[in-house]
Amino acid sequence: SQQGEEDPQALSIQEGENATMNCSYKTSINNLQWYRQNSGRGLVHLILIRSNEREKHSGRLRVTLDTSKKSSSLLITASRAADTASYFCATDTPLVFGKGTRLSVIA
């Protein structure tokens, strides 16, 4: 199984700003998923993008996928303090996760 690697490891922004996190992976995929984890809790699925899709939206989330570069990005617009969490990408079957990006949104 391959592993998604998130970048940056940590990100601190002001409330209202946009947050962008990146994910790189190594081999061909069927789909890529993004998850969120509040401290000490379980992971929650945010969005799934298929290999034949380039962009997908869900509320304030926008995910892009570039299969030629084997990378994906997660954009959270108009961030809120409640968005403070760790964000993970995952690929392959069964899903293998990276270390995640820790996002801090300061009110």
Partner 1 sequence: ETGVTQTPRHLVMGMTNKKSLKCEQHLGHNAMYWYKQSAKKPLELMFVYNFKEQTENNSVPSRFSPECPNSSHLFLHLHTLQPEDSALYLCASSQRLGANTGELFFGEGSRLTVL
* 8 A C-beta contact, residue 78 and residue 16: yes
Q: How far is Cα 66 from Cα 56, in angstroms, rounded to an integer?
A: 12
The residues pairing with 65 across neighbouring beta strands, listed in sequence order, are 72
Nearer residue to partner 1 within complex by CB, 79 or 98: 98
Nearer residue to partner 1 within complex by CB, 18 or 57: 57
Least gap, CB of 79 to partner 1 (angstroms):
23
* Binding stretches for partner 1 (CB under 8 A): 1, 3, 30-31, 33, 35, 40-45, 48, 88, 90, 93-100
Nearer residue to partner 1 within complex by CB, 33 or 71: 33
What is the bridge-based pairing of β-strands 31-37 and 43-50?
antiparallel
Nearer residue to partner 1 within complex by CB, 42 or 59: 42
Least gap, CB of 43 to partner 1 (angstroms):
5
